[in-house]
Chain A
Amino acid sequence: MKGKWKALTFFILPFVLLFAAFYLAPILYAIKQSLYKVERKGTFGKATEVFGGLDQYQRVFTDGPFWESIGRVLLFGIVQVPVMLGLALIFALLLDSGLVKGRRFFRLAFFVPYAVPGVVAAIMWGFLYSPNLSPFTAVTSAVDLLDADLVLWSMANVVTWVYVGYNMLIIYSSLLAIPQEVYEAAKIDGAGAIRTAWSIKIPLVMPAIVLTTVFSIIGTLQLLAEPAVFRTFSSAVTSTYTPNLTVYSTSSIPNFNLAAAFSVVLALATCVLSFAFLKVTQRGGDK
């Protein structure tokens, strides 16, 4: 019995330590920070941190631009996530169908944008969108892709470009795991390629689609690199355009306590949305 515990500790400890040091500790520290506020005397008085209870949270919940930005990323997500995952699913099915020659090439080609660092991708697309610098001036001089009406969707395009291949790979690998017998049975029943895709492949890869959706919801709420880069290019992107940009701007004031409170609220909102989505899809599965 003793030996078993020893082995268990030995194997689990590295994970537990790293998890605690790089995951739990920062979260706890952020929560602690968010419960403090500073006090000072005089115009250049030295700040002392004192316990402030929910003071910072009161600021968060009355901060108009922050909730506006949450609404903005939700709108972004409602449109962008289905488009992106729809494309990822179609590409995965096409690769899997055998209709496409050079499967290996396309698998890699779709994945390459994901290997481009997010900031670099945003800068590159920013140049492509710029009215005077773009190689596609015929488009950019007619439509301002960086103005208040369109910039959100210009960013959605960047995010889609980066992540379609990544999501496709997850769905595709899940398609590869479907046993051949299932296909044979379908074939014997007279199902064509489209029928097989609709009735067999998609239901069987549903868990992968749910997983990628949850990742995408999390990613959407935490949008930072694209708006931060587009902020320099576009007059429509403010310092509080997305929730994470608000956190960033607040921490560079620097107001670490308020920034921590924003982060905690954002993390909670992300948790709630992800779990709500899981709950809804799992209930659908039970029927």
Chain B
Amino acid sequence: MKRHTNMTRRRLLAGAAATTTFLAAPTIVRAQGGALKVGVLLPRSGVQASIGQDCQRGADLSVSLLKSLGYPDITLMNADTETNVDVARTRAEKLIADGAQLLVGAFDSGQSTAIAQVAEQKGIPFVINIAAAPPITEQGYKFVFRNFPTAPMILGDAFANQKELFEAAGAAPKTVVFMHVNDTFGMAMKGGIGAVMPKFNMPYQIVEQISYDPAARDLSVELAKAKATGAEALMVVSRLNDAILLTREMVKQRWSPMAVLSMGPGWYEDQYLKTLGKLADGPLSFVPWFDPNKKLSKQLEAALAKAHPDINLNTNHVYTFEALLVAADAFKRAKSTDPKALADAIRATDITDNVSPGPGIKFDAKGQNDKLKDSAIQNRGGKLVTVAPKVAANAKVEWPMKPYDKR
């Protein structure tokens, strides 16, 4: 009985606290000495599945490549956003609840916006791989960082690169017909082109704008209309499937414009190249890309070739890799997995040994890398070469595009 009365509430509390400390100790030690847990959110199913899976390839090969470059270990916690904003939000919350110390993703502006809200609320750093909508980094967020150009940056560079190419080729179209998808992305690009183009004094006029449904099964009518305008070149904002459909229709309807100037995805993607073979050669895409002359670009290209020999390095791999590079670099400097310390370290990022064109990775006060540059790339024999800007080019432009009936 006497022994029993010795167990006071104070002693019980002290004992419980000691036990908790003892049990929690290994966890704390592990967090300090272990790998950084990075939650990777990508649309690996749904409408954007093929692009999400392509980004995932970039994420998967980053782990060993970053380690070989001397960066500390990172562990990927992968989550599928199912191309759905609400799913993206709940998956981000779950990843954080499961112990993710930093988030990376999510290819799409809508999904990235939802994840950014969660990350800011929970105080977990979020490094965006691909998303171009300007408002994401205009909200005053402290934990959101983007190493990807905004839509106005993409368009400005596109027109600057076009002028550089026209000068190099000694020729330019006088008229273009502008075809674009009528989804959020396509309409935003249409608005952006209308606003940005006049500032660049381009040598051509847009003779007609033709919008179409990105899920269209047949684009024969749309292309017949474009051909009937008599424009010298085709300017286009498309997705993958419609890029293939438009090319097929150009061949079938026997129309070979002087150039195809693509201001979005589709025309440079692996599936486009594989599906169309020699008919894929020629189009110019003005996109966020990589500088083929940088040392790390060659290393990333080699790592991808080893893991996926039949896939060309592209935007999806490059910017997913760089998002993880930012994470690993911050972890190395912060020497901690504390979210605030990681966010402070990301804010102080200054990486010059990188892949994307431009001086390197550095974030402004809003968390945006505003020094990024875009490239002009051209399809050549199933491969992609960079033709502008000159500082990040590895080939000269082929102009005009070889007619489809002469291939």
A binds B: no
Chain B contacts to A: CB under 8 angstroms: none
